[in-house]
Amino acid sequence: MLDKTYKEQLQIWDKTYLWHPFTQMQDYIKETPLIIEEGRGIFLKDIDGKEYLDGVSSMWCNLHGHCRKEINDAVKRQLDKVAHTTLLGPSNIPSILLAKKLAEIAPEGLEKVFYSDNGSTANEVALKMAFQYWQHKGCKDKTEFVALQYGYHGDTIGTMSVGGIDLYHKAFSPLYFKTSFAPSPYCYRCPLGKQNKDCDLQCLGGLEDILKEKADRIAALIMEPLVQGAGGMIIHPKGYLSGVAALCKKYNVLLILDEVLTGFGRTGKMFACLHEGVVPDIMALSKGINGGYMPLAATLSTQEIYHAFLGEFSQVKTFFHGHTYTGNPLGCAAALASLGLFEKDDILRNLEPKIKYVYDKLKSFESLEHVGDVRQCGLIAAVELVKDKTTKEPYPWEERIGVHVCLEAKKHNLLIRPLGHIIVIMPPLIIGIDELDRMLDTIYKSIEIVTGKNS
Ligand SMILES: *Cc1c(COP(=O)(O)O)cnc(C)c1O
């Protein structure tokens, strides 16, 4: 543990020098900052030695726990060889091995791997690839995109252009390229006002209307398969993804799947699109790619996309995109070790009882007075809080009801992060049943305490 004056110094320096992401700093500097010093397994320890369960997987990316020996060792081994070399020109061993591995485990047909550093860039690459694919194909008018309401694909201007969350995206709208937004299949707040799920997925009609009218101008549709994460852990009804994929085929529009959150086991399968046998033209991966160890991302494409970029140098068909740390060897070495653990620990099969456990346990949440909806997909779950359960009236967002629930949970050694009024359950995949039990009990009690006060 650190000495007291140094701890105080860190707290002051944090407030003096750091600008935290997605954070109102005027509020932040009034509070005592939580400063993490180390992590072991699913627990994080702060500079006071207090331990927390990492219920948010350090922003949805940790899979096998912190300080995992196999990944640490792989990174150390690579570190003793070389930390970084560029892929602009030369290649490096871990990036080759990982590309081969990703192509092997990805849905069949996705065979080319383009690296970058984070989820936003993985999607940015996907959008640029899709756009230029059509240019190379001679379809010069296909310059627009389709995305879903409440979709989230990152914070760069390009990915914000296809983002559907007003709170984050509206302010920058003058900077965006043209995107049409289809209704999100948010069943609890059905865009068509349906009450139950035997609706024949009529919400696909909204998408088809857009495609019918504009397909000639549309390069690609981008969406998060099965779970729209940042938009509120909106879980899509069965068949929606395959319905979208069929419409993309019918109207000759590329399908980009953003599996930045859903990839690498979160939904119970390696990739979410495998649940519905859908193979996109382009797939973006990041968060869980190396178990949450280092910035790394990959955009996978089919041979069809890749081949459109081949030609004589003078034809200028080259894909002019690349980041300095593209294919970083340390990140790739960590990813290979993480994927090794999927096999060694049989991660996906061991997830099944945990997913079932969460399903059973979440039922009890439905009786809470201010819980409007509970939903789950694999080891991703969410509890939507409402001011009034009968009318589904949301809490005013300024009330920060989710933040208050999470602050209560923190008192009980659980770290979680809400999305507005939605409580997110996103533990590392290796969490045990006992720890899941404790986590869900803590969330239940925290909701009860906080919303009790507000009713
Ligand atoms: C987090 C996230 C992103 C953005 O990834 P960053 O690494 O934060 O840039 C994109 N898409 C989805 C679905 C995400 O959850």
| 80 marked ligand binding residue | no
| Other beta carbons less than 10 A from residue 30's beta carbon | 8
Give the alpha-carbon dihedral of 387, 225, 23, 443, to 10 degrees.
50
- The pLDDT of residue 454: 47
- The pLDDT of residue 1: 65
CB 287 within 8 A of CB 297: no
4 burial type by CB count under 10 A (0-12 exposed, 13-18 middle, 19+ buried) = exposed
For the CA of 229, the nearest atom of ligand 1: 15
- The pLDDT of residue 349: 98
* CA distances to 6, 328, 336, 348 from 339, in Å: 39, 17, 5, 11
CB proximity list for 138: less than 8 A, separation 6 or greater: none
* Centre of ligand 1 from the C-alpha of residue 287, in Å: 7
* Centre of ligand 1 from the C-alpha of residue 4, in Å: 37
- The pLDDT of residue 295: 98
Pocket of ligand 1 from Cβ distances under 6 Å: 118-120, 123, 152-154, 224, 229-230, 258, 260-261, 286-287
Residue from 385, 407, 382 nearest 396 by CA: 385
For the CA of 262, the nearest atom of ligand 1: 13
Averaged pLDDT score across all residues of the chain = 96
| Residue whose CB lies within 8 A of the most ligand 1 atoms, among 20, 58, 117, 261, for a mutation test | 261
| 442 marked ligand binding residue | no
For atom 6 of ligand 1, the residue with the nearest CA is: 119
- The pLDDT of residue 2: 79
Could you say which architecture CATH assigns to the domain 72-344? 3-Layer(aba) Sandwich (3.40)
* Centre of ligand 1 from the C-alpha of residue 270, in Å: 17
| Residue whose CB lies within 8 A of the most ligand 1 atoms, among 57, 115, 120, for a mutation test | 120
- The pLDDT of residue 138: 97
What is the domain partition of the chain in residue ranges?
34-64+346-453, 72-344
- The pLDDT of residue 3: 86
Digit-coded pLDDT (tens) for 355-413: 999 999 999 999 999 999 999 999 999 999 999 999 999 999 889 999 999 999 999 99
- The pLDDT of residue 150: 98
| 152 marked ligand binding residue | yes
Residues of the chain with confidence (pLDDT) below 70: 1, 197, 453-455
| Residue whose CB lies within 8 A of the most ligand 1 atoms, among 20, 153, 290, for a mutation test | 153
CATH topology of domain 34-64+346-453: Aspartate Aminotransferase, domain 1 (3.90.1150)
| 120 marked ligand binding residue | yes
Measured N-to-C along each axis, helices 433-454 and 401-411 cross at an angle, to the nearest 10 degrees, of: 130
In this prediction the pTM is 0.97
- The pLDDT of residue 18: 98
- The pLDDT of residue 397: 86
- Nearest-angstrom CA–CA distance, 60 and 261: 7
- The pLDDT of residue 239: 96
- The pLDDT of residue 345: 97
